[in-house]
Amino acid sequence: MEKTTQPEAVSSVMKVFSILQALGEQKDIGVSELSQRLMMSKATTYRFLQTMKMLGYVSQEEEADKYGLTLKLFELGAKSLEYVDLIALADKEMRYISEQTNEALHLGALDEDAIIYIHKIDSGYNLSMQSRIGRRNPLYSTAIGKVLLAERDVEFVERTLADVTFVKHTEKTLQNTAQLLTELELVRQQHYAEDNEEQEPGLRCIAAPIYDRFGQVIAGLSISFPTIRFDQERLSYYVELLQTAGHNISRQLGYDVKNQ
């Protein structure tokens, strides 16, 4: 008979969540009481608590052996709910734009030093941008990436891209942060961004920002075209579609762009 053993990593995760649950049930609790309640050694309990304290999830009363939860878990939960709301709200707007254009729509958010696609609606054409939810792309060569950075200060942009290598995906790809900062100024003024074959040859994208209730750009909404189907004379129409959608989503998230 094969002996089943629980991997140490899984055991550790279960202990962490047991501690979090216990701290959630009682505001302040000492190491001894907590270790007895969870049937863990005092040394193990203390070690986990100190690690969780270092990460900001647990607080300790000064000069006391009492621990409690911080608001960091609440902040994480709130972020998760915000993205759930964002995707649901964006889907309606994206479907409307899809009906008007039949082109691919993407919703992207900032993920450390890149963008990540969190929702999409495929084009109705055979020739279209190939993508998947969860895919990451560079900030510097995508329209969504540019709107995510445009309203950030220079220090944030430089810090975010400090370890990023500007890969020359095409002949039109920006080569460095200085070039990007110049373009971000334009994006900030016109409230939309373009990727003119900077990420993929033969592909153009336009994106507009979406704001959270605090007026921070939380995501970008884009439409993508093969260059052979892109009509420059309709650029203002595409921009208006995206900006209207961005305004509608932002307003429902608690921020009225037009009143700012």
- Is-above-0.75 flag for pTM? no
Q: Are 183 and 170 in contact (CB under 8 A)?
A: no
Domains of the chain, CATH where assigned: 11-76 (1.10.10.10), 81-253 (3.30.450.40)
Rounded alpha-carbon distances, angstroms, from residue 94 to 106, 222, 239: 8, 9, 13
Close Cβ partners of 156 (under 8 Å, ≥ 6 residues apart):
149
Closest CA to 215 of 160, 248, 254: 254
Predicted local distance difference test score (pLDDT) of residue 187: 96
Tell me how far the alpha carbon of residue 256 is from its chain's centroid. 21
Could you read off the pLDDT of 216-260 as tens digits, one per residue?
Answer: 999 999 999 999 998 889 999 999 999 999 999 999 888 887 666
Residue whose C-alpha is closest to residue 226's, from 183, 191, 195, 184: 195
Length of the chain: 260
Query: What mean pLDDT is reported for the chain?
Result: 87
